[in-house]
Amino acid sequence: MVAEEPVKYEYFYRCEAGTNYLRAGLWYSLFVRKQRYFSHMHRTFEEWAQALANAGHILYAQGMVPATSGNFSARVGPDCFAITVSGRHKGHLTADDIMQIDAEGRALDGKRPSAETGLHLQLYRHVPGIHVILHHHSLYATLISQMFTDRLVFADYELLKAFPGVDPQATRLEVPIFANDQDITRLAQKVEEYMNTHPPVHGYLIAGHGLYTWGDSVETALKYVEAFEFLFRCELMKRGVKSQ
């Protein structure tokens, strides 16, 4: 299979309170139109690397990965994963900024992986169906993660149906919030313990930090990012936090 050429995006945005925003809905629709669909079972590392780089461009255009924050990964094979190299700016990612690691987090190409690699590997071990993980530091996710102590509950939102297995008429969606911890092994263990004793989890927050969400493809994970951001904004506005 011949790897596709890097996708070139034309971003149309307006400046508001110092943050660049794409016109409503444009960021996701551009990705879906431009990104060629491959089965995740047949993508090469190079194709995954380009797909993750494209996701970084989209999230940066939304103001969700300022500076060098955030990290992304994909399951390439049973014991091989693609993940962002530590310290790379997500708005300027290229395929070269994505590296390979094994199931223990060891680099396979001499590069240094994200400091939060352990959180990605915990999710891949816990949920075999996960093929992509996106972690971003958006304004809404960061702010709302500091307004609740251990969990955020969404109820009575039609948009809950964006998440698989959630009935918006009868089900609440709970998003756990974990205290920020520089000991990634300890934090990953807390996430594991929570997921072992709670219903299926579609994302979690780290206080003062940001959101982790995942899916079976980059497109699906981006859809969940969009849904979570809308719900975060709704909850903030209900509590009197002004939204531009």
Q: Is the pTM of this model over 0.95?
A: no
pLDDT at 239: 87
Residue 184 to residue 197: CA distance in whole angstroms: 20
Q: Is the predicted pLDDT of residue 46 greater than 60, yes or no?
A: yes
pLDDT at 2: 38
Residue 75 to residue 52: CA distance in whole angstroms: 11
Q: Is the predicted pLDDT of residue 23 greater than 50, yes or no?
A: no
Instruction: Provide the percentage of residues in the chain whose pLDDT is more than 90.
Output: 75
Q: Is beta strand 203-206 parallel, antiparallel or unpaired with respect to 173-178?
A: parallel
Closest CA to 95 of 115, 74, 70: 74
193 burial level (CB within 10 Å; 0-12, 13-18, 19+)? exposed
Chain segment 182-203, per-residue pLDDT in tens? 999 999 999 999 999 997 899 9
What phi and psi, each to the nearest 5 degrees, are found at residue 70? 85, 160
Token reading at 145: 């993660």
Compute the average pLDDT of residues 149-170. Answer: 88
Query: How far is residue 29 CA from its own chain's centroid?
Result: 17
Q: Is the predicted pLDDT of residue 149 greater than 80, yes or no?
A: yes
Closest CA to 51 of 215, 227, 231, 229: 215
The lowest-confidence range among 3-12, 123-132, 160-169, 232-241 is 3-12
Report the 10 Å Cβ neighbour count for 86: 16
Token reading at 219: 């497109």
For the chain, what are the domain ranges? 13-238
Q: Are 219 and 32 in contact (CB under 8 A)?
A: yes
Residue 142 to residue 69: CA distance in whole angstroms: 12
Contacts (Cβ under 8 Å, ≥6 apart) of 184 = 115, 116, 117, 118, 119
Q: Is the predicted pLDDT of residue 118 greater than 70, yes or no?
A: yes
CATH number of this structure's domain 13-238, picked from the four choices 3.40.50.1820, 3.40.225.10, 3.20.20.70, 1.10.10.10:
3.40.225.10
Chain segment 25-35, per-residue pLDDT in tens? 444 444 544 44
Q: Are 210 and 69 in contact (CB under 8 A)?
A: yes
Residue 31 to residue 54: CA distance in whole angstroms: 8
Compute the average pLDDT of residues 74-89. Answer: 96
- Helix 218-238 to helix 45-61 angle (10° resolution) is 20
